Structure 1
Amino acid sequence: MSILSRLRCVTVDVTGTLIAYKGELGDYYCMAAKSVGLPCPDYKRMHEGFKDAYTDMAKRYPCFGHAAKMPNIDWWRTCVKDSFIRAGYNYDDETFEKVFKRIYASFGSSAPYSIFPDSQPFLRWARQKGLIVGIVSNSEYRYQDVILPALGLNKGSEWDFGVFSGVEGVEKPDPRIYEIALERAGNVAPDEALHIGDSMRKDYQPARSIGMHALLLDRFKTPDAENWKKSGAPVLPDLVAAQAWLTNQVEVAAGQ
């Protein structure tokens, strides 16, 4: 009997699984700076500055400031300002606000993202097979309300429910985010659900820890994929392969 015949729900990660970043972070920061007459910031310094600033903000105010009741725009304003400062650019408040508004608007739209061509067909196929489809993502509300719909991934036609860290106040790899997903799906049993993602730490391990089935996508040929396979995780190149796997894979006990 295939795994598909035993499933009631499939949950899917977003970035790296359904969509990807388009271009580099520096592209959007450069465009924002140029829009107010500033020179283009150095890409490498900007990338490193953002990475460090984001990590720091995520530790101090997790889930995009959810527990601190920090407005989403304020969380990002602090993060972006710190990114510029770490990269060596300390703009005056008025100039920074103009640059920030451009950046915030860009990343709140579909512009920096591209959708993988197999994403929409896979989600629609899963729903046609009678599965409840959920999105589980470490992201803020704009993914749910703006970005996914703008990319053609709509609630009601491609997915049934979403669990977004900035909305829920819990984020991967905390297994609770998957427990919320099972509740949202109608209290589906863990062994009747499958999670698909691209991170061993954030997707596969926490989903398996509560008894869900799980598989990993390796769209970008990451060196880590060999270790994933050695650990026993199913690793597939894309959602076309995932669809075939779901149809053909014989079910094994959830603990194996």
Structure 2
Amino acid sequence: MNRHVQFVKNLNRFRLVTFDITDTLLRFRKPPGVQYANTAASMGVKNLDPNKIQNLFREEFKNMTKRYPIYGRNSNEITWQNWWMLLVDNIFKRVDDKLSQTQIRSISERLFEQYRSNECYVHIEGNVELLKMIRDVTKYVGVISNSDPGLERVLSSMNIRHKFDFVYTSYDLGVEKPHCGAFLKPLEKYNVHASEALHIGNLYEKDYIGARNAGWSSLLITKSVDETQKAKPTHVYSSLREMHNALQTIDIEW
């Protein structure tokens, strides 16, 4: 069968296709620990350990998420912008207790801007081609991401925002994937039934299972052996390119 015909056959049941962003369509140019250390060095704070920063990032992200869920959405104390500033402040206070608050805040502000531009991201191979082909087949294409409103700026700076009809972040929705509510809003907005919707993401529980629990179909992109074994074989792929090829060459049972 012609590759395009097979692609259409696999997807023509869907009126809505949504994507996660990080590690699905875009990825970090460098790990946060490296980016944070490089940015600090460019501002005169040199010789910081990227591995230590990376570990502290994980710790502080968990702490902030517990204290101010969904980037502080329901908090009267903090905005989503301040959420990130405080996260970075906490990391650098622990990295080097000799840094002044002025130094730390300058680094935080620089990083905040960098992570809302194209400076910290790269396209995952084949993403633009896949988005174009899906756009030609389905009616609505969008984003459902556990992130903050700054994602809009990132997508614009990476020149793909115009490829989506909508971008829903967890901050916008008030819930995070895998909560079914994260998948309900676009169905209501565009009058689409769950059986006509497909979600593509990189996390087994949050993307693959979350969507299926909401009645959607879903595809998973992961290199995790454990997660690969959990999903249906024709639903999981090691890369976006591999998934795109499968959509064009095999019958996928949803």
Q: How far apart, in 1, do the equivalents of 2:203 and 2:97 lie? A: 33
Partner of 2:105: 97
Contact 2:71–2:83, Cα closer than 8 Å, also in 1: yes
Match in the other structure for 1:85: 93
Output the amino acid matched with 1:188. Answer: V
Asked if structure 1 preserves the Cα contact closer than 8 Å seen for 2:204 and 2:227, the reply is no
Distance in 1 (CA, whole Å) between partners of 2:243 and 2:43 is 46
* Counterpart secondary structure, 1:104: helix
RMSD after superposition: 2.2
- C-alpha distance after superposition, 1:75-124 (max 9, x if no partner): 11111111123334452221211121111121121111101131111111
Matched, 1:205 2:209: yes
Amino acid at match of 2:63: D
| Structure 1 counterpart of 2:58, from 42, 51, 56 | 51
Aligned partner of 1:228 in structure 2 is 230
Which letter does structure 1 place at the counterpart of 2:208?
Y
1:191 to 195, 201, 211: 195
Amino acid across the alignment from 1:47 = Q
TM superposition score normalised by structure 1: 0.87
Distance 2:118 2:82 in 1: 21
What amino acid is the match of 1:160? Answer: D
Contact 2:199 2:218 in 1 (8 A): yes
Aligned-partner Cα distance in 2 for 1:6–1:169:
29
Contact 2:25 2:124 in 1 (8 A): yes
- Pick from 132, 138, 141 the counterpart of residue 146 of structure 2: 138
Partner of 2:3: none
Normalised by the length of structure 2, the TM-score is: 0.88
Q: Which has the higher helix share?
A: 2
Amino acid at match of 2:146: N
- Return the alpha-carbon distance in structure 1 between the equivalents of residues 138 and 228 of structure 2: 33
In structure 1, the gaps of 5 or more residues are: none
Q: Using the alignment, how far apart are the partners of 1:3 and 1:212 within structure 2?
A: 15
Q: CA deviation at 1:131?
A: 3.0
Alignment correspondent of 2:164: 159
Cα distance, 1:66 vs structure 2: 0.9
- What SS does structure 1 have at the residue aligned with 2:59? helix
Residue identity over aligned pairs, in percent, reads 28
**1:147-189 residue CA offsets vs partner (Å, 9 max, x unmatched):** 111112123xx111111112322211212101123223x1211
- 1:1-256 matches, within 5 Å, as 2-69=9-76, 70-89=78-97, 91-144=99-152, 146-155=153-162, 158-184=163-189, 186-218=190-222, 221-229=223-231, 234-246=235-247, 250=251, 252=253
Q: Secondary structure at the match of 1:141?
A: coil
